[in-house]
A and B are shown apart, each in its own frame.
Chain A
């Protein structure tokens, strides 16, 4: 018994020492199964490509980065998997997570354990507003989404329509969970700040089966512009029901979610979706001069997965992970405080990454250089139209009749 015990611990010690010399373990916490699996997996692919690229160029501090997956299928499991990664696997940091609810749950575990957590894709305000010591976020958020929608409307769409932005009547509709509510809140606050006119602001449950009364309300109040923050089902429902009711606002601006996805366009049809705007993470139909490294990312993605990227999530995760891993490499070591110091020292200027934006963390550990782009559906494809430096096509406007 004694000898077996000794042998076992000796073997364990050798194994651990051996792995510590060769590899450094990083947690990859995403929803890999369940309803969020599609985009969770897409997000994780971005991280995997960043890790491949780092390892190909010599690793971090000369050590190979090895990803240890955790499946955050729901909030409880996100917590359980975070615990496992931190205490059993012994990861040096956790990367994730796509879903805001999952990161909010899991980061409480990692912060208590003093393990750095890098969020690369979740947008809710609460992720960074809790002032956790070890949590950083590289991607743009609900605030950036709301601002980009209003900026694009005031600076580009209104002039294109030949209108003063202040004359446009804005209707804001949103699904009433934390995602839609926070984006719509930022849109309304920023529109007010810019002196624009909001005539309607209405939430609705995302699982609604009828939006005809909402369409009638917007028609009744004469909304020229509709901002919708929505998932897929309600995006389709609104676009179809507005069309069927004969309601044709001058512009519809979607906030990510359903509006960025090809199946939404296929569901409502090219005739209805064409001309609709969208604000989201950097997509692939973008001017690559503003996004250096994007073409290489797409090439690496094709080589690794044998397919085109399914959404911009992988790109956002790739860019964030690459910036963080390079910073850790430039830092002192793998101790939590050394990683945090390395993250705080990041100063990547705007326009030099594959997503177009730079990286610098503010005092809440949110990347203050993150921003979102404006897209438009043109001929059944989503193309970047805003800002000008990233645009690949001129914005199209409805023909006056």
Chain B
């Protein structure tokens, strides 16, 4: 029974981890309609910056949030302005996808050049300390990630619903041409949204860096799962990404123990396929959200 509870808690914590990585991805997709294949490399960049700040300045890793989140916002905004925007008018949307794939490869190799192939280890400052919750153990850092994921979902939801900028973003997401006719600067909203999405993954990077060794290809470890989470939850849906992540985390933990760790990907992707067959727009997606894909 204790083992079962521990597996559930592990799955929940893993879900929180996947959630915080995925939220920025789904945000960018939902608004800019670009599948950002460099998302994992944004995470990697944020983790390296966190590592640099923590080891060079001797600060607590969470203090790096003051620098990493704005840095990633700028990185995201520049990506949209300099890479995606010039391709927006391209006849085929796939051009943008390949541009982000290229950006991903370029960033991985840039990191290899700067930091080498070795792992960089961010000091944990007590975030790796296990604490006991009744019969189960979790790491303090994992609890913070889980809490931050919930806080991020709520904050984004409030921003989208109640702020002027949020309304403008939603207007652009719903109908680009109509928004433009209403006097919204669509390009500026895209840049802003890409920036916010990248800033979200910056927050994720700060929280993850003390728990996982950073390397140039760490982004590729997370990004496939992030795509599954985002599609499962419904492309563009922030609550969908959160609950999709929890589901994937649970499936991963349970199948890893009861079925076998080499088969857990088969289980996760199997369930993913079944859900997509039954509900092609994802758990929280509506059909309309998919209309721009065709």
Q: Which residues of A contact B (CB under 8 A)?
A: 34-38, 173, 176, 202-205, 207-214, 216-217, 219-220, 232-233, 236-237, 240, 244-246, 261, 263-264, 266-267
The stretch from B69-77, B174-182, B254-262 touching chain A is B254-262
Contact A216 B121 (CB under 8 A): no
Instruction: Show 8 residue pairs from A and B whose CB-CB distance is below 8 angstroms, ordered by the A residue.
Output: A202-B260, A209-B212, A213-B261, A232-B119, A233-B215, A246-B130, A246-B137, A267-B213
B7 within 8 A of A: yes
B85 within 8 A of A: no
Contact B262 A202 (CB under 8 A): yes
**How many angstroms between the C-alpha atoms of A176 and B3 in the bound complex?**
25
B192 within 8 A of A: no
Q: Which of the residues B112, B137, B254, B264 comes within 8 Å of A245, measured between beta carbons?
A: B137
Q: A203-B262, A205-B265 are in contact. Are A213 and B7 (CB under 8 A)?
A: yes
Q: Which residues of B contact A (CB under 8 A)?
A: 3, 6-7, 10, 14, 17, 112, 116-119, 121, 128, 130, 137, 139, 212-213, 215-218, 220-222, 225, 252-254, 256-257, 260-262, 264-265
| Residues of B with C-beta under 8 A to A237 | 212-213
Contact B221 A244 (CB under 8 A): no
| Residues of A with C-beta under 8 A to B212 | 209, 237
Contact B7 A37 (CB under 8 A): no
Contact B252 A210 (CB under 8 A): yes
- Which residue of B has the minimal Cβ distance to A212? B10
- Which residue of B has the minimal Cβ distance to A261? B118
| Residues of B with C-beta under 8 A to A205 | 262, 265
Contact B119 A202 (CB under 8 A): no
| Residues of B with C-beta under 8 A to A216 | 3, 6-7, 10, 257
Contact A176 B262 (CB under 8 A): yes
**How many angstroms between the C-alpha atoms of A278 and B137 in the bound complex?**
29
Contact B217 A35 (CB under 8 A): yes
Q: Which of the residues A207, A213, A217, A263 comes within 8 Å of B118, measured between beta carbons?
A: A263
Q: A236-B119, A236-B213, A267-B213 are in contact. Are A214 and B261 (CB under 8 A)?
A: yes
- Which residue of A has the minimal Cβ distance to B252? A210
Q: A233-B119, A246-B137, A266-B121 are in contact. Are A214 and B222 (CB under 8 A)?
A: no
Q: A38-B118, A267-B119 are in contact. Are A213 and B213 (CB under 8 A)?
A: no
Contact A220 B116 (CB under 8 A): no
Additional pairs, 15, CB under 8 Å, beyond known A173-B261, A202-B262, A233-B215: A38-B116, A202-B260, A202-B261, A205-B265, A207-B221, A209-B221, A210-B14, A216-B6, A220-B3, A232-B119, A232-B213, A233-B218, A236-B121, A245-B6, A261-B118
| Residues of A with C-beta under 8 A to B260 | 202
- Which residue of A has the minimal Cβ distance to B108? A35
**How many angstroms between the C-alpha atoms of A74 and B253 in the bound complex?**
34
| Residues of B with C-beta under 8 A to A208 | 221
| Residues of A with C-beta under 8 A to B128 | 240, 244
Measured CB to CB, the closest approach of chain A to B287, in angstroms, equals 33
Q: Which of the residues B130, B213, B257, B261 comes within 8 Å of A244, measured between beta carbons?
A: B130
**How many angstroms between the C-alpha atoms of A233 and B118 in the bound complex?**
10
- Which residue of A has the minimal Cβ distance to B253? A213
Q: Which of the residues A37, A210, A220 comes within 8 Å of B10, measured between beta carbons?
A: A210
Measured CB to CB, the closest approach of chain A to B272, in angstroms, equals 16
Q: A205-B265, A213-B257 are in contact. Are A35 and B119 (CB under 8 A)?
A: no
Measured CB to CB, the closest approach of chain A to B261, in angstroms, equals 4
| Residues of A with C-beta under 8 A to B17 | 209-210
Measured CB to CB, the closest approach of chain B to A352, in angstroms, equals 34
Going nearest first, the 5 A-B pairs with the smallest beta carbon separation are: A213-B256, A267-B121, A203-B262, A213-B257, A212-B10
- Which residue of B has the minimal Cβ distance to A39? B117
Measured CB to CB, the closest approach of chain A to B265, in angstroms, equals 7
Contact A233 B261 (CB under 8 A): no
**How many angstroms between the C-alpha atoms of A36 and B216 in the bound complex?**
12
Q: A202-B261, A246-B130, A263-B121 are in contact. Are A209 and B112 (CB under 8 A)?
A: no
| Residues of A with C-beta under 8 A to B213 | 232-233, 236-237, 267
**How many angstroms between the C-alpha atoms of A34 and B260 in the bound complex?**
33
- Which residue of A has the minimal Cβ distance to B257? A213
Q: A204-B262, A205-B265 are in contact. Are A244 and B139 (CB under 8 A)?
A: yes
Contact B265 A244 (CB under 8 A): no
Measured CB to CB, the closest approach of chain B to A46, in angstroms, equals 18
Measured CB to CB, the closest approach of chain B to A284, in angstroms, equals 18
**How many angstroms between the C-alpha atoms of A214 and B253 in the bound complex?**
9
Contact A213 B137 (CB under 8 A): no
Measured CB to CB, the closest approach of chain B to A205, in angstroms, equals 7
- Which residue of B has the minimal Cβ distance to A232? B119
| Residues of B with C-beta under 8 A to A213 | 7, 10, 252-254, 256-257, 261, 264
Contact A214 B117 (CB under 8 A): no
- Which residue of B has the minimal Cβ distance to A36? B117
